Amino acid sequence: MAKRQNIMNKFTIQSSLLTATILLTGCSSLGVQPWERDLLAKKEMALTASPIDAALDDHIYFSKEASSGGKSFGGGGCGCN
Amino acid sequence: MQLNKRPTDKQNQKLDLKSVLTLATTVLLGTTHAVNADEPSTKDNWSFDSAFLYYGEGDRVTAAEGIIAASKTFNDDKRLNLKLTIDALTGASANGAVAQPNVQTFTRPSGNGQFQVAAGEVPLDDTFKDTRVQFNAQWTQPIAPDYTASVGAHISKEYDYLSLGVNGNLAVDFNQKNSTFSVGMSYFLDTFEPEGGIPNPFTSVGTNFNDDDDDDYKSRQLADDDEYQGTRLTDSDDKTTIDLMLGFTQVINRRMITQFNYSYSMVDGYLTDPFKILSVVNQAGLTQDYLYEKRPDKRQKQSLYAQAKYHFDSTVLDLSYRYMWDDWKINSHTIDSRLRIPLSSNSYIEPHFRYYQQAAADFYQPFLQQADPLPKFASADYRIGEMNAYTAGIKYGMTLQGGNELSFRLEYYSQRPTSAGHQEPGVLADMEIYQGVDAIIAQVSYSF
């Protein structure tokens, strides 16, 4: 039984490693060279292009809905919910 | 001639505003880099973002919020961000009770006085009023090649609420900085001290604590009344929030970048809303009593978030999706999209659309039935009920001479609570149980 479990564990580890390798290999073929970052370097291409708008929106939706965070921390902060 | 052009008065004014703020920031920080006219490079290192927002729900809540954020990049890519937020809230919010075919009288949450709600109207408590001041500081710096660390602190204070928080984040770049893996954690300690104290959950709110009939009911000081004090537990209570976040950012190609986050959040402590109540109705749907609500003292939330940004020839699309679920059995889907369309070399418009759908907490119920045994937990707060919400808006931004940016944002937010299948006995069938909320959001932002 223990031997079977060991084989299963080994199989799980091997498949996890394989998945991770495929993902990393996949990611390494994605992306750009440093001299191809002209568009990505623009302010409007930042993941949070307007932090002020994001902060104000988070406050509104935190106080009106039951979900928060996801993009950034959605912890405490105000007694509005 | 152009080189010798003297700055106009207007330009001087702009410089002065920035100089004053820079001086204020450096004095507050105790740094020695005071503003010096001979060191324009030092002065230019600070940049400021400011915004004023108005939020109005018509006959319900109105809020005004102002933000000023200062940031400075030091040598070696070390970065300091400081943010001050001030907001003021006023107006009426639903207290959880259901509408009735007759006038209803409620005790104010503070215990001081009562208010009446007309027949057929959803009960709103109009004593909602608060001012909040919040300060955030965040320090970010590279700690080794491809490793960036960030630590921050948060303090927020309002009349009856104090929130203290710290956070830390570590990001690792690899694959020629095309991939970034990050791990973050934050801890919050919130203390709630509502006026009149923390109500004892599921005790009757009552309306006739003070037997002195000579008093005008509006001026009764129930906080001194023994019977009223029997409904109170303590003066204050607190909760802690621990957030963990794993993030992965991937550049896809020259035009596209993506982000994926997993968040886990554990909230522990006082999660009940001391201002919310439930109607107890009989088989005819008529209210017999009002009880203070009761929520569990723990909540575990998790969420998955995915975002993609795509640069077309000139427009930029920002698309994101979030799935959130928790052990209160709430789950939600959020889709957010923005499209930034340039109008000229220095102006743009940005339409925004957001859709939100939420399933109710398992203990949410719009009212309690007299014939049923009291549940373990119950809340009639529509914000943890079933709902759909939509936001549609537009932003117009322009770059001014000297590189300063000015933008205007106008949005419409509509919340539509829906029935999660609760049967409405008797008169409640003719009452509006799930009332929508419509809000206007207007914002002006200026970066300099």
Closest CA to B281 of B93, B94, B102: B102
User: In Å, what is the CA distance from B225 to each residue of B104, B230, B359?
Assistant: 22, 9, 40
Predicted confidence at residue B114, as pLDDT, reads 86
| DSSP assignment of B375-438 | PS-BB--GGGS-EEEEEEEEEEEEEPTTS-EEEEEEEEEEEEE---S----GGGGGS--S--EE
Residues of A in contact with B156 (CB under 8 A): 77-78
Best of B315, B324, B352, B440 to mutate (most A CBs within 10 Å, chain A): B324
> What is the phi-psi region of residue A31: left when phi exceeds 0, alpha when psi lies from -120 to 50, beta otherwise?
left
Contact (Cβ atoms closer than 8 angstroms) between residue B221 and residue B108: no
| DSSP assignment of B274-314 | TT-EEEEE-TTS-EEEEEE-B--SEEEEEEEEEEEEEE-SS
Residues of B in contact with A25 (CB under 8 A): none
Enumerate helices (H) and strands (E) in chain B, giving the number of each.
3, 23
| Residues 6+ positions from B340 with CB-CB distance below 8 Å | A44, A49, B315, B316, B318, B348, B349, B350
Predicted confidence at residue A6, as pLDDT, reads 65
- From the list B69, B186, B192, the residue facing A79 with the nearest CB is B192
Six token digits for residue B328: 């209160």
Q: Give the distance from residue A14's alpha carbon to the nearest chain B alpha carbon, in angstroms.
A: 22
Segments of chain B with pLDDT less than 70: 1-17, 20, 22-44, 206-230
- The ipTM is 0.86
Predicted confidence at residue B212, as pLDDT, reads 45
Q: Give the distance from residue A17's alpha carbon to the nearest chain B alpha carbon, in angstroms.
A: 17
Predicted confidence at residue A20, as pLDDT, reads 66
Residues of B in contact with A64 (CB under 8 A): 383, 389, 413, 415, 437
Radius of gyration of chain A (CA): 22
Predicted confidence at residue B270, as pLDDT, reads 95
Length of chain A: 81
| Residues 6+ positions from B48 with CB-CB distance below 8 Å | B18, B21, B68, B69, B70, B71, B447, B448
Predicted confidence at residue B217, as pLDDT, reads 41
Best of A33, A42, A57, A63 to mutate (most B CBs within 10 Å, chain B): A57
- From the list B263, B330, B415, the residue facing A69 with the nearest CB is B263
Predicted confidence at residue B233, as pLDDT, reads 78
